[in-house]
Structure 1
Amino acid sequence: MSRSKMKVLIESQFCSIAKDFPVDIRLESLCDRIYPLTGIEPNHMKLTAKDLEGNVLSTIDPSAWDDEYQMLYDTRISCIFVEDTSGISDRLQRSDEDVSFKLSEEDYVQRQDTLLAWKVRNKMGRFDPAYRQQLDESRRLQQERLQSLEINQRCVVRSDGKPERRGWLRFVGVVAEISPTDIWCGVQFDEPVGKNNGSVKETVYFGPVSANYGGFVRPTSVETGPHYTPLEPDGASSDDEV
């Protein structure tokens, strides 16, 4: 019988906590859930997955991977070591403070000698007012883009480091399985360049369409308009399509 959840040991230089995670959790959500356990910002994480024997299975830099990547589909994973690429953890470890310990999540959050508490005191990461302003600006841009989108219209999806993709905008709203608050756009692609069929777990948000012809993307990556016709198979714009 397949497992819907698996227990994974989350380790960093300063903590070691075993937690249950859904097997199909997306990379972005996994990093968000690891953050309060380790105090390491998702964009400063380097994840090393290990099996029960301590053998390295994979090493992932979340900033270089698709947010929808489902790391825990590899059920051999027993432990994920989270490295802080910002160097803050190294500086703390060299300090006079004794910050090495193994605690429950609840106790970790309450401690004042942790990486998370240090960031709170020094207003770093999500506790930095500038970070909050950046987050608020991102949300503003998302909401602004939403005003210009039309459901069931032709659309284009442009993401950094990826070829342009085209299709139909079929859904705009919250996808609870990805995030309980963020707004996502459900796109039916012209080609099999997506991640799903318009459904997440057992919830159908649009379609369903053929496998890999559906995907959920941020509103700021989407534009709608009748001029976004299917890309020509031999055209320059489609040479890099996956």
Structure 2
Amino acid sequence: MAEYTIKTAAFVNLQISTSKDEITLNEKRYPKDLSISELKNKLELITGAGSETMKIELYTKDNKHVGTLDNNEAMLGSYPVDDGMRLHIVDKFLLRNELENFDNVPKYELSLDEYSKKTDTVRQFMIKNKMGQYNEENIKKKELQEAKEQEITETMVIGSRCKVTSKSAPTRIGTIMCKGVIADLPGFWVGVKFDEPLGKNDGTCKGKRYFECQPNYGAFVKAVDVEMGDFPEEELDLDEEI
């Protein structure tokens, strides 16, 4: 068996394109001691081309064809690859399908009941690993958090003075204007009109008005960031130099 050696650096950055479309994928970094067979397996994951049927063509940065990586046992570094060059993946299987018309071929569809009985589906994988909607512990935890958030929100008194303290903004003083569910925002919210233009809106959210105030004087915040109390409105000293 012939031996293949790495010609240059241990890794190479290459552009990837396919015969399926004219889009060039993001640049990928590969070790040069990777065999062409192993390279095809990696390319199969990002291009959808079959590793057994694909052909890999090598192009320079100027789109000049260098050759074909056709020896599955050879290492990538045994070919004249360099940073910035492009691997063009030609999939014979895809090309054949593109020449055929499958519009009139009956499509196989599964009913929800049949799909539920299969063991090799994404749904079964999520159930087995307790992911997303199939993680009962996380669902219960989320429900408890939402219930607590709603309880705190309901203690807010409309018309009360308040102080809003959050990590993403300075402490602000204002008046509670509304509370509850706001448009398509998740959870429960408190609408506050600030004494100064330190807000983000004018009392509207996604085209729906919840209270009246000037632009940039209103905001919707979480109840945990709101403290009700006797917070008098600060008087501006008009004689103070700015």
TM-score using structure 2 length: 0.43
Larger Cα-atom Rg: 2
TM-score using structure 1 length: 0.43
